[in-house]
Amino acid sequence: MGAELDFLDQVAAVARRHGVDPGDVQEVAGGVANRGFVLGDDLFLRVCRPGFEADLLKETHVVPAARSVGVLTPAIVEYDDSGRLLAAPYALMERVHGTEPTTLPTNLAPQLAHLHQLERTPALPNPDHSRMELAGVGEDGWGDPWGTVEGLAGQGYVDPGTASWLSGWFSRLAERIDGSGPKVLIHGDVAAHNLLAGPDGDLRALIDWGDAAWAPRAMDFAKLPLTQVAVLLPEYLRHSQSPESEEELAAAVLWFHLSWGLAKLPAAPWPGQRHWTAPTTSRLLNILHFFTTAPPAPWSELT
């Protein structure tokens, strides 16, 4: 209890440093990598939890780059890892007023297209995949789903016939995907809990860049339900410089949903989480639901 009080006193010190009365500081629930605090009307404080220091430092590189191409994300006002005011690294951000959307924000597609046009520069190093669901992904970003299927069959999670069918599905998807294509800068966790929308449904901010990475562009659609991705992709491609067709991109997105869903089958349950991908079977059930709702072309041709 004493350590927590000391910590809150340190948060109050950061608030006073920026002219905010400690009475106007309020903690926001949730956050795997950081604890979050509203500081009055204009500022938001993110304090790094142990083990996520590299992610927060990464954001100091990625956020300015994303903002430079027009991506809606709060500016970083201050980053401090000196330990002078807070024992943990922290980032003070502009506060964007919005709420977690319940439907797909209307302008998310062009925002992702802007982000994916960024090129590597010395000021924008190669972020790692620190918090992404990348079991067995490998350096090329695509991973070895055939190995995943083989392992699941060996452990008794799937029967041999189902394993053969799944391996064949990945082989058919692989024929539609150019795995040697260029990597783009992805946000890495495009999901409702990292989106802020206004009352009109427009996106106001894309937040939390701790999973940013240079990766296949399809990976940035891997944490949205496929029903939303199917709506998003045509508009994304109208704004994008992507060399991929909608069919190629859809196949690549499905590849990640299916391979990540299978990789998570042996994981222990993780109750009490708000993101839809937390339960071990959610991705696979989402795929099942999607393909039983008569999805449009090209999705209907990807089975």
Whether 123 has a pLDDT exceeding 80, the answer reads: no
Q: Would the CA dihedral through 33, 253, 225, 97 be positive or negative? A: positive
For residue 225, what are the CA distances in angstroms to 20, 100, 138, 253?
39, 15, 24, 11
Note the pLDDT tens digit of each residue in 26-54: 999 878 899 999 999 999 999 999 999 99
Tokens of 42: 């204009």
How many C-beta neighbours within 10 Å does residue 279 have?
A: 15
108-301 adopts what CATH topology? Aminoglycoside 3'-phosphotransferase; Chain: A, domain 2 (3.90.1200)
CA R_g for the chain: 20
- Sketch the domain layout of the chain as residue ranges: 2-94, 108-301
Instruction: Please tell me the CATH code under which domain 2-94 is placed.
Output: 3.30.200.20
Note the pLDDT tens digit of each residue in 180-219: 888 999 999 999 999 999 999 999 999 999 999 999 999 9
Task: Tell me whether residue 148 is exposed, middle or buried, using C-beta atoms within 10 angstroms of its C-beta: 0 to 12, 13 to 18, 19 or more.
Answer: buried
Q: What is the mean pLDDT of the chain?
A: 92
